[in-house]
Amino acid sequence: MCHATWDWMAVLPVVLWGLRTAYKEDLRASSAELVYGATLKVPAEFLDSEELDSNPQIFVQEFRRQMREIRPVPVAHHIRNRPFQYKDLYSCSHVFLQVDSLRGALEQPYSGPHRVIDRISDRVFRIDLDDRNEQVSVERLKPAYIAVELDDQPAASPGGECSETPSLRKGVIKVYPEQAKNTADFQCS
């Protein structure tokens, strides 16, 4: 095959056949084995008159050994992960709503806080959105932790020190729409 001949088209099928039956170390098989599932006969095997062992017990043992070496191909998992949900979402009075539209780099991803009117199901809430009731999926909601201020000022603590716990006024909600900050007042004397 390595002869300098002008009739290389006549030799090409034999060369390609040799390339396809050659054992590839990285694949641990020949390309013909991968395509056809069996090895191709090479010219020396056509003339080989060696008889195969006809003992079925040896065949079964060799077959079992080869089957034990085969490892399954890992399958792709098409399981959709559940989105994160806040534990406090089902007990809060106000929520933030995720903005679905395209937004600029410095725009807030959430609007609100919005008052929760009703929990229709575990997956859908009805919220007060700009003086109208909207049904929204919980995947778009985030609980709003809003500090409530106390109505009356309690007496100052003895010793003139600040108390360790924040004092909150009942019934009044502080909402800062431009910053959406949560605040708490500490009582000091």
d(CA 14, CA 127): 76
d(CA 22, CA 32): 9
d(CA 102, CA 108): 11
Of the candidate ranges 12-16, 52-56, 92-96, 183-187, the one whose mean pLDDT is the lowest = 183-187
Domains and CATH numbers, the chain: 8-46+53-69 (no CATH), 94-143 (2.30.30.140)
- Name the residue type at position 48: D
DSSP state for residue 124 in the 8-state scheme: E
Q: Phi and psi (nearest 5°) for 95?
A: -135, 160
Confidence of residue 2 (pLDDT cuts 50, 70, 90): low
User: How many residues are there in the chain?
Assistant: 189
Q: What is the pLDDT of residues 142-175, one digit of tens each?
A: 999 888 765 555 554 454 444 445 545 455 555 5
Region class of 96: left (phi > 0), else alpha (psi between -120 and 50), else beta = beta
How confident is the prediction for the chain on average, in pLDDT?
Answer: 75
